Amino acid sequence: MEEAHNEKFKYFFTPKSVAVVGASIKKGSVGRAIMENLVEKFRGAIYPVNPKYEEVLGVRCYGSCLDLPEPPELVVIAVPARSVPQVIKDCGDKGSKAVLVISAGFKETGSEGAELEKAVVKIARSYGMRLIGPNCLGIYDPYSGLDTIFNPSDRQMKPVPGSVSFISQSGALGAAVLDWFAEAGIGLSKFVSYGNAADVKEWELIEYLAHDPKTKVISVYVEGVEDGKAFVNSIREAVLKGKPVVVLKAGKSLRGIKAVASHTGSLAGSYHVYESAIKQFGGLIVNELSELVTAVKALSWLPPPKGRKVGIVTNGGGAGVLATDAAELNGMEIADLSTDTRQFLQENLPPAASVNNPVDVLGDAPPERYEISIKALLKDEKVDALVVIGIMQSPAFDPVGFLNVLKNFRGGLGKPIVIAAPGGDYTEKNLLMFEREARVPSFKTPEDAVKALTYLVKWSEIRKRFKENAPR
């Protein structure tokens, strides 16, 4: 079964050869940007195709796919929409396995474009080829070096290899999320912008990723789906394989539904129906773009908690109260610390410190005070997860010392730890340092830190529910 799923789409992610139809030497063009990416990173054979040139970026160029010395396993098409049907026919005649159509101008433009799209799919299927797109940004696989993202490198960061996969109906939005992933240090397994989903559907990609050994977390931005049953069943399949699926569904409002149709030509039904079905089949719903990044960060870096009881350590009382409110409003519980824990804290913290939960280590806390408190709460069986708050504006706060403390507890004794630190540039710089060097999810507000834990709790409860209902 694993081999069958891998065989199905391997040509999209790990092709041995790639042809770029519409390859160009013109700066700022899509065809040149794709060639630059491939020449820099891709480890297979590259064949630029454009009758205007003899070579592109030092690589021999061909007039058509029929002229190539071998059938390219993947063909990336970046030419005007009207030229696409003939290009796909040439690819099929040559014996290619898969087609990625970057070009726009299909069903998102209206009825005429929709007919052109149907013709393109019909040709591809007649040759047994699968097609992703059209109207998309394409694919980025940091393991194979396949990269069709044509945004300038000084504006678009791309994640290093990792375990998170992201599929997006919107190319532009997908690029922005990759930027966020890269900034946060979230490693990527695969990215697919699938656009109009004329042939390959989002549920097929989720199903493939469910069986992909390099993918541990699947994240999805979707506007509309043609086959709702297949979509939720693919989520269920991933969950049964132990992989959380985080879904951001656009088209919640009436105007949003209309905007979806003009964007990718998709039909977006009732959001509440989607939401209910996705949750029933084990998906994790997020309501905002930033929440998708929050959820992915937590799910890919942290172990699932055993329960909902949260411990809080803070050097600022107000931030501790906000974390408490956020926990209870999000269905979490504030842990009642054991007598032994409170006694230990009372013996090792200053008299003015609060040894109840939240534990307030006071504004003059050095790293050692954090270390004492974090260790005590992690050892307490009544605590399932931990929020650590640092008000870095305090002159006593030592970011490097705090980082070393985090490194000591990176494993969290099997319990998830998240960091919260409100503030500006100085704080943000240190939060990035904590994430990159200690691999501890860090957030600008206590509310976001708590929200990250709620996704872990929800995922833990989903796994438990599916295991209990699994056939024996």
Decide the pairing of beta strands 146-147 and 161-168: unpaired
Decide the pairing of beta strands 188-193 and 138-141: antiparallel
Of the CA atoms within 13 Å of residue 22, those in its CB half-sphere come to 22
Classify domain 303-462 by CATH number: 3.40.50.261
43 to 49, 58, 73, 97, 143: CA distances (angstroms): 18, 16, 13, 18, 10
> Among candidates 281, 214, 277, 288, which has minimal Cα distance to 249?
288
The three-class DSSP label of residue 97 is coil
For 389-437, the pLDDT digits (tens) are 999 999 999 999 999 999 999 766 789 999 999 999 999 999 999 998 9
266 touches 422 (CB < 8 A): no
Give the neighbor-by-neighbor strand order of the sheet with 284-286: 146-147, 138-141, 188-193, 161-168, 217-222, 245-249, 284-286
243 touches 210 (CB < 8 A): yes
Structure token pair of residue 399? 């970011």
Q: What is the dihedral of CA 376, 399, 391, 176, to 10 degrees?
A: -110
Instruction: Count Cβ neighbours within 10 Å for each residue of 407-430 and write b for 16 or more, e otherwise.
Output: eebeebeebbbbbbbbeeeebeeb
Classify domain 142-301 by CATH number: 3.40.50.261
- Residue 355 CA to residue 377 CA, distance in Å, equals 11
The three-class DSSP label of residue 315 is coil
- Residue 207 CA to residue 466 CA, distance in Å, equals 17
- The angle, 0 to 180 degrees and rounded to 10, between the axes of the packed helices 399-408 and 367-379 is 20
Instruction: Count Cβ neighbours within 10 Å for each residue of 30-43 and write b for 16 or more, e otherwise.
Output: bbbbbbbbbeeebe
10 to 126, 138, 208, 270: CA distances (angstroms): 20, 15, 9, 34
Q: Given this model, what pLDDT does residue 8 score? A: 74
360 touches 314 (CB < 8 A): yes
For the full predicted model, state whether its pTM sits above 0.75.
yes
Q: Spell out where 338-444 has E strands.
A: 359-360, 385-389, 417-420, 442-443
The three-class DSSP label of residue 81 is helix
Q: Given this model, what pLDDT does residue 472 score? A: 46
Instruction: Count Cβ neighbours within 10 Å for each residue of 198-209 and write b for 16 or more, e otherwise.
Output: bbbbbbbbbbbb
Neighbour count for residue 381 (Cβ, 10 Å): 11
- Residue 48 CA to residue 34 CA, distance in Å, equals 10
> Among candidates 191, 192, 196, 199, which has minimal Cα distance to 263?
196
Q: Given this model, what pLDDT does residue 263 score? A: 44
Of the CA atoms within 13 Å of residue 283, those in its CB half-sphere come to 27
Domain(s) labelled CATH 3.40.50.720 in the chain stretch across 1-135
SS3 annotation, 132-161: ECCCCCEEEECCCCEECCCCCCCCCCCCCE
165 touches 188 (CB < 8 A): yes
Q: Which CATH number fits domain 1-135: 3.40.50.150, 2.40.30.10, 1.25.40.10, 3.40.50.720?
A: 3.40.50.720
Handedness of CA 193, 216, 301, 271 (dihedral sign): positive
Q: How many helices (H) and strands (E) does the chain have?
A: 16, 20
Tens of pLDDT along the chain (472 residues)? 455 556 779 999 999 999 999 999 999 999 999 999 999 999 999 999 999 999 999 999 999 999 999 999 999 999 999 999 999 999 999 999 999 999 999 999 999 999 999 999 999 999 999 999 999 999 999 999 999 999 988 889 999 999 999 999 999 999 999 999 998 889 999 999 999 999 999 999 999 999 999 999 999 999 988 899 999 999 999 999 999 999 999 865 455 445 544 444 444 456 678 888 999 999 999 999 999 999 999 999 999 999 999 999 999 999 999 999 999 999 999 999 999 999 999 999 999 999 999 999 999 999 999 999 999 999 999 999 999 999 999 999 999 999 999 999 976 678 999 999 999 999 999 999 999 899 999 999 999 999 999 999 999 999 999 887 765 4
Q: Given this model, what pLDDT does residue 260 score? A: 46
- Residue 104 CA to residue 110 CA, distance in Å, equals 12
Domain(s) labelled CATH 3.40.50.261 in the chain stretch across 142-301, 303-462
Structure token pair of residue 108? 């998102």
